[in-house]
């Protein structure tokens, strides 16, 4: 699915207006532990998290992720938004909880990356 689809599905607000919403998101990862996120190298993923600090953006950057979704309407400050904008990472804010947001994306066909089958 595309970033714009995630916005629709999660009724999300886009915090980085310059982002290219046509980019394809192949896999996603939901976590509040950054080293868990960093344990799987996988292309073009989205990160769904309840954490809002600059290290979330850095983690996404190291992973070449293109989209971050903050759950439960968590507030992301200017530092986070600016950091993400510089790195061409789209930042979204959804009112849904982590569980619900992940479930809705899964229901629409998005899958996790790098899982042991």
Site for other proteins, rule CB under 8 A: 32-36, 38-39, 41, 49, 51, 53-56, 58-59, 61-64, 79
CB of 111 to other proteins, least distance (A): 20
Considering beta carbons, is residue 63 or 69 the nearer one to other proteins?
Answer: 63
Q: Judged by CB, which is closer to other proteins: 9, or 51?
A: 51
We find the least distance from the C-beta atom of residue 101 to other proteins, in angstroms, to be 17
Distance CA 117, CA 104 (A): 22
Considering the complex, what minimum distance in angstroms separates the CB of residue 70 from other proteins?
Answer: 13
Cα 8 off chain centre by: 14
Bridge-based pairing of strands 13-14 and 90-93 is antiparallel
Burial class (CB in 10 A: 0-12, 13-18, 19+), 59: buried
């Amino acid at each position: 699915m595309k970033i714009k689809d995630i916005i629709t599905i999660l009724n999300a607000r886009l915090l980085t207006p310059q982002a290219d919403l046509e980019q394809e998101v192949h896999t996603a990862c939901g976590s509040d532990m950054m080293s868990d996120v960093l344990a799987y190298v996988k292309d073009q993923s989205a990160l769904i998290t309840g954490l809002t600090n600059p290290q979330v953006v850095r983690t996404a950057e190291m992973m070449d992720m293109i989209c971050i979704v903050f759950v439960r309407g968590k507030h992301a400050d200017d530092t986070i938004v600016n950091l993400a904008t510089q790195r061409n990472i789209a930042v979204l804010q959804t009112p849904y909880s982590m569980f619900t947001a992940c479930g809705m994306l899964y229901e629409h066909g998005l899958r996790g990356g790098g899982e042991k089958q």
